[in-house]
Amino acid sequence: MPIKACVFDAYGTLFDVAAAAREAAAEPGREAFAAVWAKVATDWRLKQLQYTWLRAVADAHTDFWEVTQNGLDWALEASGLDDADLRERLLALYFELSAYPEVPAMLATLKAEGFATAILSNGEPNMLKGAVDSAGVADVLDDVISVQDVGVFKPHKSVYQLVNNRFGTRSDEVLFVSSNGWDAAHGAGFGFISVWVNRAGEPMDRLPWKPAHVLHDLTTIPDLARAG
């Protein structure tokens, strides 16, 4: 079937999740943080994701903003940092995450060629709005879909079903793009034409499903959409 909708995970796919820590580390007076910012960014993201999975399997849903704060608190403590001002600065910057350089032009190309475009994210709606507005890509997205509509985090099937509900598509008419290997795999298991954006060159996750495509960035997404 031809592709009708191109749907993207947000954090790590369109938006650089390390940007908040990297930008804070470059600010004057944050020398102690600058020495460990990369570790904090990695720990923060890992715990953020782990907490979504643990809450999903325990039926203990909360919004992604709480999970993001919990992950940051763990990461700061793990690096021996007890700095309320730094914590608040990092959380503020998370609302203004930078998009990867190729994102605006890629989305604009998809829109110009008639594909529906959307985000499908664990993110809480206000968080997603902040990132979308900061990146200046609101006008090239048809929708920003949050798991808040079903009350469970990815990779629950009900999350992926939100896309078909919104666009009236069959699963094989959707190009689903994620930088998370597990997310791309579960998208493939749901029936999407799935793309893993493997920016870090990681091994393939050992799951029952595999993405149809593996890319290093998002530049060639329009080519895959045209090819179906």
The residue behind tokens 């979308």 is 132
| Confidence (pLDDT) at 228 | 83
Say yes or no: 47 and 120 in one domain.
no
Q: Identify the domain containing residue 182 by its residue range.
A: 5-15+98-227
**pLDDT of 30:** 96
Q: Verify that 70 and 127 share a domain, yes or no.
A: no
Residue 222: alpha-carbon gap to chain centroid = 19
C-beta neighbour count of 31 within 10 angstroms: 9
Q: Single out the residue in 94, 113, 128 at which a domain terminates.
A: 94
If asked whether residues 118 and 201 sit together in one domain, one would say yes
Number of domains in the chain: 2
- Give the global pTM: 0.96
Per-residue pLDDT at 189:
98
CATH number of the domain where residue 156 is located: 3.40.50.1000
Beta carbons within 8 Å of 114's beta carbon, 6+ residues apart: none
Last residue of a domain, one of 94, 112, 139: 94
What CATH number is attached to the domain comprising 52? 1.10.150.240
Q: What is the dihedral of CA 29, 41, 160, 101, to 10 degrees?
A: 70
| pLDDT at 48 (0 to 100) | 98
Domain end residue (candidates: 94, 118, 152): 94
Which element (helix H / strand E) includes 162? helix 157-167
Task: From first to last of the 228 residues of the chain, give the pLDDT tens digit.
Answer: 799 999 999 999 999 999 999 999 999 999 999 999 999 999 999 999 999 999 999 999 999 999 999 999 999 999 999 999 999 999 999 999 999 999 999 999 999 999 999 999 999 999 999 999 999 999 999 999 999 999 999 999 999 999 999 999 999 999 999 999 999 999 999 999 999 999 999 999 999 999 999 999 999 999 999 998
Cα–Cα distance for residue pair 21/41, rounded to 1 Å: 6
Residues 182 and 169 in one domain: yes
30 and 74, same domain (yes or no): yes
Instruction: Give the residue numbers marked as catalytic.
Output: 9
Q: What is the 3-state secondary structure (H, E, C) of 38-76?
A: HHHHHHHHHHHHHHHHHHHHCCCCCCHHHHHHHHHHHHH
